[in-house]
Amino acid sequence: MSASQAIRRYAKAMLDSASETGQQETRFKDFQLIGNTLNSSPDLGLFLKSPVIRQAQKKAVLRDIFKGKVDSATMQFLSLLSDKKREALLNGIATSYMKQYKDFLGIIEIRVVSSDPLSSDQIKQLEKELIKLTDSKVELSTEIDESLIGGILIQIEDTVIDGSVKQKLSRLKEKYTSAVFE
């Protein structure tokens, strides 16, 4: 089985078991913590992936780091993962769980990129429009990219709505260089 399939299945199992006990939210926070820890410490990721380090050692390290900070069920899951020699998938499972949980709640993550910082009013209005457009709850993350020159770019999953000046200029350039004048 490919790694990505395994990741999806572990994450789904965690979500299913959490919904039986109504702990999705707690577990979401656990995985958020795990994800953040792994992202902020690349060394930990390398440690878990290393085939040289013994299973028992990896298990002990995970226990030491997360003991008391996460729910007991999550702790059990971490030790199961060690037993199955799948610690390397931990980061992927955390990300996948968060994604699946958001899907379950009907929340769509949307990336908004602009050339200048948006005011809170603008963001609020944008959020309102996007809720109308997607017909579901949205979670905005904003980014600044000066190369856009002006306007905004909105990315909903793999669909991009590009209203940036940069894109318009490149379209204009294309139009002039490819147009046939009679």
Footprint of another protein (CB under 8 A): 4-5, 151, 155, 157-163, 167-168, 171-172, 175-176, 179, 181
Q: What per-residue string of b and e applies to 86-103 under the rule 16 or more CB within 10 Å gives b?
A: bbbbbbbbbbbbbebbee
Please state the closest distance from residue 153 (CB atom) to another protein, in A.
Answer: 8
What's the start-to-end Cα distance of the chain, in Å?
A: 59
CB of 161 vs another protein, minimal distance in Å: 5
Judged by beta carbon, residue 59 or residue 111, the one nearer another protein is 111
The enclosing H or E element of 31 equals helix 24-40
Dihedral through CA 173, CA 176, CA 179, CA 180, nearest 10? -150
For another protein, the closer of residues 69 and 128 by Cβ is 128
Report residue 10 as tokens: 């572990």
The owner of tokens 């669909």 is: 159
Tokens of 91: 């980061």
Phi and psi of 2, rounded to 5°? -75, 155
Q: How far is the CB of 83 from another protein (least distance, A)?
A: 26
Residue nearer to another protein on the CB measure, 119 or 178: 178
Q: Which is nearer to another protein, 56 or 180 (CB)?
A: 180
Output 13 or 172, the one with its CB closest to another protein.
172
Minimum Å gap between C-beta 146 and another protein is 16
Q: Coil, strand or helix: which one is 50? A: coil
- The two tokens of residue 156 are 């909903």
